[in-house]
Amino acid sequence: MSQVQELVPILVVDDQASNLLTMEGLLESMGLPLQVVRAEDGNRALRLCLQQPFALILLDVQMPGMNGYEVAELLRSHPKTGTLPIIFVTAGLTNTPHVIRGYESGAVDYLPKPLDRHLLTSKVRVFTELFQQRRQLERHEEHLEAEVKRRSAELRALNAELEHRVEERSQQLKQALLRVVEAEQHAALGRMVAGIAHEMNTPIGNILLASSTLSAELGRMASLLKGERVSRQDLLALGEQGHSAALMIESNAHRAAALVNNFKELGSRSEHETPTRFKIANAIEASLTAMSTQLRAARVRLELEVDADITSLGFPEALHRIITLLVNNSLVHAFQAQLQPPQPCIRLQAEARDQQLLLSYSDNGCGVSPANLPRLFDPFFTTRLGQGGSGLGLSIVRKLAVEQMKGEVRACTPVGGGLRLDFRWPLDLSLEA
Ligand SMILES: Nc1ncnc2c1ncn2[C@@H]1O[C@H](COP(=O)(O)OP(=O)(O)OP(=O)(O)O)[C@@H](O)[C@H]1O
Ligand SMILES: [Mg+2]
């Protein structure tokens, strides 16, 4: 802040130039930091007061034209000058009514002419100090305001910087997440390819083995035939070996074809299929009837609790496929691995609730270990590796339930044993996007 002392402006108003000079002389001799401004009439005084602030006005009462009282009244009525301290300076008119008029028009004091130097000095000092204090307060306020402005600007800049950093960080996180997802997709693809290669390897290896044995045997027979040393025994042995090799080739080719079909099913898209209207109970019964021979052979008891009236606008073929895969799993995994099995039982429950189909499939077989339960739906997860299991059945089930039927499926092992799969999907698939 500047250390130069600020001058305090005082306005003296008098129509007599000699009076103005006297007052100016008196004020300047007081040793106060004053800036004396002079006005010879009321009009000039009003103009000056509107232009700049004054610590005090020493106002002559008797002036031609506008007298001191009128000047004071006009000053009081204006918001800019309403609180200006006024001291009337008067030679006569000190009787009470005039004094009252003076106070009413806004005077803070009266001073009689000729002016008493001590009296004037003490009064001017008070108003000078008041003015200086007010200015100091104003400067302090200005300083505070500037400080608030500076801090707000700093805060705004900090805020913008912070937002920028948050945005930058979330972009980085998004990118990192994308990379993780990509890596996971790559890994899943790698696992899938490895699984396919492994699964296809077994039947292809068997076919190669059978066909090379067959070709070696046929070659040996050809050379025997050339030497005309072929016995009936040799021919019979060749026939038997040839037959079993052909059977092995055939069954392994079937296995390879079935695998390829499963891969195709897992990779196929079903969006173009249009939903049809069908009864859930009829579709379930038809699927079970199609498997009745295997179910009877395994002496499986069926428990059906399916509401006969539920109609769905959906995909009966997908439901048929799901039930076939689940029954097949019960027959292959659930009922085979038990040492002292109870009578095998498959239970199917279906009910409609809130426009959704709730379907529950369970068997009372060996169930699944807690470690294997979370992996059931993973492609190529099987506990019958090398015994005909490719681990694709339940991934196809999940794909159908989630992607085609727009629903969900969960597996659990109930307290009583066995495995249960709970499905939920919309009854009307035409409403689904
Ligand atoms: N009802 C069940 N009871 C016990 N275990 C089951 C049952 N259903 C499935 N599993 C377990 O889940 C694994 C995965 O089943 P999934 O149908 O996907 O493959 P898979 O039956 O082994 O082979 P695929 O179905 O391709 O011939 C099975 O290997 C088996 O361990
Ligand atoms: Mg299966």
pLDDT at 23 over 60: yes
Structure tokens at 238: 């060749």
Which pLDDT score is estimated for 361? 98
10 phi and psi angles, rounded to 5 deg: -125, 135
Q: Ligand 1 center to residue 262 CA distance, Å? A: 14
Alpha carbon of residue 237 to chain centroid: 74
Is the minimum distance from the CB of 390 to ligand 1 under 6 angstroms? yes
H-assigned helices in 68-116: 68-77, 96-104
Q: Are strands 109-112 and 301-306 parallel, antiparallel or unpaired?
A: unpaired
Mean pLDDT lowest among 29-38, 214-223, 315-324:
214-223
3-state secondary structure of 406: coil
Q: What average pLDDT does range 289-296 have in this prediction?
A: 94
Burial 398-429 (b: 16+ CB within 10 A, else e): bbbbeebbebebebebeeeebbbbebbbbbeb
CA–centroid distance, 346 to ligand 1, in Å, is 15
111-167 pLDDT, tens digit per residue, is 888 889 999 999 999 999 999 999 999 999 999 999 999 999 999 999 999 999 999
The tokens 């090398």 sit on which residue? 386
Ligand 1 atom 17: residue of nearest CA:
393
Tokens 């979370």 -> residue? 374
pLDDT score of 384: 86
At a CB cut-off of 8 Å and minimum separation 6, what does 148 contact? none
**Nearest of 85, 91, 39 to residue 65 by alpha carbon:** 39
Helices (H), 227-351: 232-267, 280-290, 292-297, 316-329
* CA neighbor of 294 nearest in space, from 353, 254, 335, 258: 335
Q: What is the mean pLDDT of residues 272-300?
A: 92
Of the listed ligands, the closest to the CA of 333 is: 1
Contact indicator for 200, 258 with CB cutoff of 8 Å: no
Mean pLDDT of the chain: 89
Name the closest ligand to CA 364.
1
Tell me: pLDDT of 237 over 90.
no
Please report, for residues 70, 196, 373, the alpha-carbon distance to residue 16 in angstroms, rounded to integers and kept in the order given.
18, 118, 112
Q: Which one, of 316, 343, 315, 349, lies nearest residue 330 by Cα? A: 343
Note the helical H segments in 316-362.
316-329
Are 26 and 115 in contact, with CB atoms under 8 Å apart? yes
Looking at residue 8, the DSSP 8-state letter turns out to be E
**Cα 337 from Cα 175, distance rounded (Å):** 48
Mutate to test the pocket of ligand 1, among 198, 322, 329 (most ligand atoms within 8 A of CB): 329
> Residue 2: pLDDT above 50?
no
Contacts of 396 (CB under 8 A, 6+ apart): 262, 265, 266, 321, 325
Q: Quick one: 209 exposed, middle or buried, by C-beta within 10 A (0-12, 13-18, 19+)?
A: middle
Burial (CB < 10 A; 0-12, 13-18, 19+), residue 393, is buried
Q: Mapping DSSP to helix (H, G, I), strand (E, B) and coil, where does residue 15 land?
A: coil
C-alpha of residue 395 to centroid of ligand 2, in Å: 9
Please check the confidence at residue 291 and state whether its pLDDT lies above 90. Answer: yes
Residue 44 is predicted with a pLDDT of 96
Using the predicted structure, report yes or no on whether residue 1 has a pLDDT greater than 70.
no
What pLDDT is attached to residue 295? 95
For the Cβ of 330 lying below 6 angstroms from any atom of ligand 1, the answer is: yes
Other CB atoms within 10 Å distance of the CB of residue 75? 23
Q: In the predicted model, is pLDDT for residue 108 greater than 90?
A: no
The finding on whether 261 has its CB within 6 A of some atom of ligand 1 is no
Average pLDDT, integer, range 358-364? 97
The upper half-sphere exposure of residue 279, i.e. CA atoms within 13 Å in the direction of its Cβ, equals 8
Structural contact between residues 58 and 13, judged by C-beta atoms closer than 8 angstroms: yes
Ligand 1 atom with the shortest distance to the CA of 392: 26
pLDDT at 3 over 70: no
Q: What is the pLDDT of residues 321-359, one digit of tens each?
A: 999 999 999 999 999 866 666 889 999 999 999 999 999
Asked if residue 396 has its Cβ within 6 Å of ligand 1, the reply is no
195 lines ligand 1 (CB under 6 A): no
Q: Of 48-52, 231-235, 242-246, 307-311, which gets the smallest average pLDDT? A: 231-235
- Residue pLDDT, tens place only, 33-74: 999 999 999 999 999 999 999 999 999 998 999 999 999 999
pLDDT at 363 over 90: yes
Percent of the chain residues topping a pLDDT of 70: 93
Q: How far is the CA of 237 from the centre of ligand 2 (A)?
A: 38
CA of 44 to the centre of ligand 1 (A): 108
Q: Which tokens is 12 given?
A: 């003296």
